[in-house]
Structure 1
Amino acid sequence: MRLSCSENYKTQSRNTEKLKIKKKYVPYLFLLPSALFMILVFLYPLCLTFKYSFFKMSMLNPNSEFVGLKNFSYLFTNSDFSRSAGRTLMWTICSVSIKLSIGLLLALLLSKKIRGIKIYRTLLLIPWAMPHAVSSIIWAWIYDGNYGYLNYFFMKFGITSQKISWLGERKLAFISTVINDAWAGIPFVTLVFLAGLQAIPESLYEAAEVDGANRVNKFFSITLPQLKNIILVTSTLTFIWTFNSFNIIWILTKGGPVDATETLIIKIYRQAFGKFDMGLSSAMSVIVFLILITLSIIYWKITVTDEE
């Protein structure tokens, strides 16, 4: 009887240990499909891109030649690449500035208790929910030099006496693509700022009113300081997404006219699938990746600091 009890105890102990082992590895089994997907779709192509950046290779020529850092040295001494990088930075700064300023203004308006506020908030989501390809095609119709709505209204109200080629002139094409990108991104920024505004305690504003503060004083002494971390995080995320934008520019101008809207992402695409130069395009991709990963680290540090 004692032997039987001892055997039962040992059996139960073994079963308990097996169950603990199963519970330990079950989460990894659930994560395995996602991990494989990430490896195949992101990590493997990323490793190939880093590899190709050290080679002189073309899609038209099966033979490749190891050149080391020559692709990178060529890009850093190439004025065309420098202009594309500066243009990308300027395009991103302009678009992000519009998104943040108008997004904050709309968030302040939508935080007020007015009739039909839920309808306005729902309508705000339309540009964000709409695919960039669809919205860009609509904006292309609006900007059309011959039949576009923008020229129609400008001529109808006497703002201009002749048709304007919005996507055919360098400066106008640059501004037009910025406006389209900002229009698509403003709703996200607005919703984030709106959530931050609603998290600010009303007692702070009530105390400021008792001290005689007006709206401007309350905005700069309460609203902005309370939204500081949210503004930093939103700015970083928006900058990364805008810097990496492709669809809007490609559909509207394909980087033209005369490279006026050719950002680094457009240049990489042209180099790879227009000139079939996989070596230089991979080197450019690595540079863009390093820029974006740096911004991601900044975002991570801001988030960690905020949590602490």
Structure 2
Amino acid sequence: MRALGGHQACFPYLLLMPALVVTLAIVGWPLVETVRLSFTDAALKPTENYVGFANYAKIFNGSFPSVIARTFVWMTTSVGLKIAIGTAAATLLNASVPGRNVIRVLVMPPWIVPIAIGVFMWSWLYNGQFGMISGLGQRFGLLSGPFEFLAFKDAAFLATIVTDVWIGTPMVALYLLAAMQSIPADLHEAAWCDGAGRFYRFRRVTLPLIMPSIATMTLLSAIWTFNSFDIIWILTEGGPRDATTTMIIDTFKTAISRNRYGEGAARAVMIVIFLSLFSGVYFYLLARLARRAIRAGGER
């Protein structure tokens, strides 16, 4: 009986073994190989030499610190706008209005359309000669002439943020809409019977109950935005004058465009470290807020 019980205890792990092997092959080995390459001078040559932490020293002796700061500004601005607009959109989609189902379907195209196609569309809109944005600006007197949004540093940086927000907001809205629909209707009805207005019900009933979903979506959106490559690369390729070069773009340019694989691997390792630290700090702050909320509820 003991032997049979031991086999039964091992059976779940045996079922998980194929998935574990595949995960290690797809994720584990490339990660280990990237770390190994980061300590070498690997490039387009038949041999590679161990260089220790020289690649990491080059990172912080160059312009990479400014790239890190730019990446965090780009990520926090974009994620903040996506969460704010997505929460507002989910609230509107959750309201009882005529044609609600049709409106929900119309919200989805920015997320469903392949990213490359959507970004190419935005690149046409930003064009100064035949782009709609420049044309409308001239028609309404906001611009004195054709304006190339992607040719100026600040304008290009804002343009990439707008495009990323347009692509990512529908997913946030639908995710939070699902969270709102899971709230029991009795809670809103009780608050309404007590004389609570719409804003008060949203602030005191809806928002606290969907806060775990907002926290989860914020973390996921931050990771996806931090690693976003195609939006910036299609629009500006990191330009003009590196104004939109984020950590992932800088890593690609170093490793692929300049064929310095060792330095590119070191930058990739730094990305993993920054995302791991960001996730750890984020979960720590969430745990502290949760404990504070529990203590406040107990005091009441």
Shorter-chain-normalised TM-score: which range? 0.7 to 0.9
Query: What TM-score do the two structures reach when normalised by structure 1?
Result: 0.84
Paired position in structure 2 for 1:75:
59
Identity of aligned residues (%): 34
CA RMSD of aligned residues (A): 2.7
Paired position in structure 2 for 1:221:
204
Query: Which ranges in structure 2 are unaligned for 5 or more consecutive residues?
Result: 291-300
* Map 1:34-49 → 2, pairs under 5 A: 34-49=19-34
> 2:105, 2:271 → 1: CA distance?
35
After superposition, the C-alpha distances for 1:78-110 in whole angstroms (9 at most, x for unaligned) are 3x1001000000000111011001100100100
> 1:263, 1:221 → 2: CA distance?
38
> 1:161, 1:224 → 2: CA distance?
44
Q: Which has the larger radius of gyration?
A: 1
> 1:268, 1:150 → 2: CA distance?
32
Paired position in structure 1 for 2:179:
196
Letter in 2 for 1:162: G
Letter in 1 for 2:42: M
> 2:152, 2:68 → 1: CA distance?
20
> 1:115, 1:274 → 2: CA distance?
52
Letter in 1 for 2:55: N
After superposition, the C-alpha distances for 1:232-263 in whole angstroms (9 at most, x for unaligned) are 11111110100010000000000000000000
Q: Is the 8 A contact 1:236 1:295 kept in 2?
A: no
Letter in 2 for 1:81: F
Query: What TM-score do the two structures reach when normalised by structure 2?
Result: 0.86
SS of the residue corresponding to residue 66 of structure 1 reads: coil
Select 1:64's aligned residue among 48, 56, 70: 48
* Map 1:257-296 → 2, pairs under 5 A: 257-296=240-279
Q: Is the 8 A contact 1:237 1:299 kept in 2?
A: no
Paired position in structure 2 for 1:129:
112
Matched, 1:148 2:131: yes
- What is the CA distance between 1:154 and its match in structure 2? 2.0
Summarize the Cα distance change of 1:192–1:29 in structure 2 as closer, same or farther, 3 Å threshold: closer
* Map 1:239-254 → 2, pairs under 5 A: 239-254=222-237
After superposition, the C-alpha distances for 1:60-80 in whole angstroms (9 at most, x for unaligned) are 2223221222222332333x1
Aligned residues: 288
- What is the CA distance between 1:207 and its match in structure 2? 2.5
- What is the CA distance between 1:180 and its match in structure 2? 0.5
Q: Is the 8 A contact 1:54 1:69 kept in 2?
A: yes
